[in-house]
Amino acid sequence: MVIDLTLSEKRTFIRFLSLFLGSSFILMLLVAFFYFENEKRLYFDLAKSNMQNKVSKISSKIIFSHMTDTPFDRTKILDTNKYKISFYNEKKEKIYGNLESKIDFSKDIIKDDKKQFILIDKSTLGHLGVYYIAIEENSYFDKIKELKVNIILFFLILYSLISLIGFYLAKLFLKPIKEEREKLNNFIRDTTHELNTPITAILMSTEKENLNEKQIQRVRLSAKRVSEIYKDLIYIFLQGSDENKSTEKIYLNSLILEQLEYLEPLASKKKIKINTTLENFEYLINKDDAIRVINNLISNAIKYNKISGQINISLKNRILEISDTGIGIEEDKLKDIYRRYYRATKEQGGFGIGLNIVSHICAKYNIKIDVESKKNIGTTFFLSF
């Protein structure tokens, strides 16, 4: 998932990732430390228990040999790779054994960082001249070292996985922000383009002092287009403050005819014929909202129509039907046409807010809106009041 980020987005991305990875590292480090200490203690307790069992058996054999006056076989006892064992007399001198380490007999257990783990037993009580038995565990420190290596490897693997997840989550978090930024950039670019066309037409038409009828018509048409863009933008950005708009009963048929007169120059420019079949129909609605709906639907029918095309407007049985013979909309794009800034085609102008406004107003006044469209044949909108 490759995402191009702005400087501020990169900073946010780095901060989020640093916080996520830093906190994850500290948490994992604490878990690993306490796990290691716990396992180390378990290893120690197990090794100590095994050594105590071993030396206890040896002590029992020594006492038994002395009491029964039978020979004590020390060869078999010393023949082991797991332990090193030595036997000491009353003067703490070694009698025999394979443990060469220096013994501190004031301690019962000798364990330090020099790989010494020695247990001292005094239970023989001088039988066979043995007063002390020292036993050293040979595998304890190897097990601890192996435990460290395993924990470090597991830590690195898990942290690498968490880093990848954090990287993915950070990008996933910024993806909608980037998409909205791109939508806003496109919206600004398209709005600039939409405004540039009529403004340029006005400037070009007013270069001469004496304007002919065609130039005046061009100025009027361009001014109307600028006005429509302005009204759409005002509606979009003030949607949250329109709850207190006054409503009144309006004859929609009369309003449609008024707006057709307003949009007639735009239709004439493309030689589009508009047919109407309008019944008298009164509906409770804010007038500006009604104008926004009608203007957007009819202006779209003109804008996306073919040269010398037709528009049929029908109002009967509480259903307003507006159909055109335009470029149409692909079936898989119909579900998205009401999304803000969405454009189903790039062939014509517009910046994707008209149908969003229509959808919002229809939902506000409980007007059901449906659409049918076929590519290169035309589009029909149905409004059920």
Q: In the beta sheet, which residues pair with residue 253?
A: none
What Å distances lie between residue 313 and 278, 292, 323, CA to CA?
Answer: 8, 16, 7
CB 319 within 8 A of CB 385: yes
Sketch the domain layout of the chain as residue ranges: 7-144, 213-384
The count of residues in the chain is 385
- For residues 316 and 319, what is the distance between their CA atoms, to the nearest angstrom? 5
Q: In the beta sheet, which residues pair with residue 381?
A: 322, 371
CB 120 within 8 A of CB 108: yes
Nearest to residue 227, comparing CAs of 155, 157, 164, 288? Answer: 288
Please list the rounded mean pLDDT of every run of 10 residues in the chain (385 residues). 65 82 90 91 89 90 89 82 88 88 85 77 89 87 88 92 85 76 71 70 74 75 76 69 76 91 82 93 91 88 90 94 91 81 60 80 92 91 94
Who contacts 329 (Cβ-Cβ below 8 Å, separation ≥6)?
A: 337, 344, 345, 371, 373, 375, 379
Tokens of 347: 């062939």
pLDDT reported for residue 194: 66
- For residues 353 and 334, what is the distance between their CA atoms, to the nearest angstrom? 15
Chain Cα centroid distance, residue 369: 33
CATH number 3.40.50.970 given to 213-384: no
- For residues 280 and 295, what is the distance between their CA atoms, to the nearest angstrom? 19
Nearest to residue 339, comparing CAs of 318, 355, 322? Answer: 355
Who contacts 265 (Cβ-Cβ below 8 Å, separation ≥6)?
A: 217, 220, 221, 224
pLDDT reported for residue 322: 95
Write out the E strands in 207-333: 248-251, 273-278, 282-285, 310-316, 319-324
pLDDT reported for residue 242: 57
- For residues 212 and 369, what is the distance between their CA atoms, to the nearest angstrom? 43
CB 349 within 8 A of CB 303: yes
Q: 122-153: buried (b, 16+ CB within 10 Å) or exposed (e) per residue?
A: eebeebeebbbbbbbbeebbebbeebeeebee
- Count CA atoms within 13 Å of residue 143 on its CB side: 14
- For residues 9 and 13, what is the distance between their CA atoms, to the nearest angstrom? 6
Who contacts 188 (Cβ-Cβ below 8 Å, separation ≥6)?
A: none
Q: In the beta sheet, which residues pair with residue 110?
A: 118
pLDDT reported for residue 1: 45
DSSP-assigned states of every residue in 336-368: GTTSTT--S-SSS---S-HHHHHHHHHHHTT-E
Task: Quickly count: other Cβ atoms within 10 Å of residue 325's Cβ.
Answer: 19
Contacts 24+ apart (CB under 8 A), 187-194: 187/341, 187/351, 187/352, 187/353, 190/349, 190/350, 190/351, 190/352, 191/229, 191/233, 191/351, 193/349, 194/225, 194/229, 194/349, 194/350, 194/351
- For residues 151 and 186, what is the distance between their CA atoms, to the nearest angstrom? 51
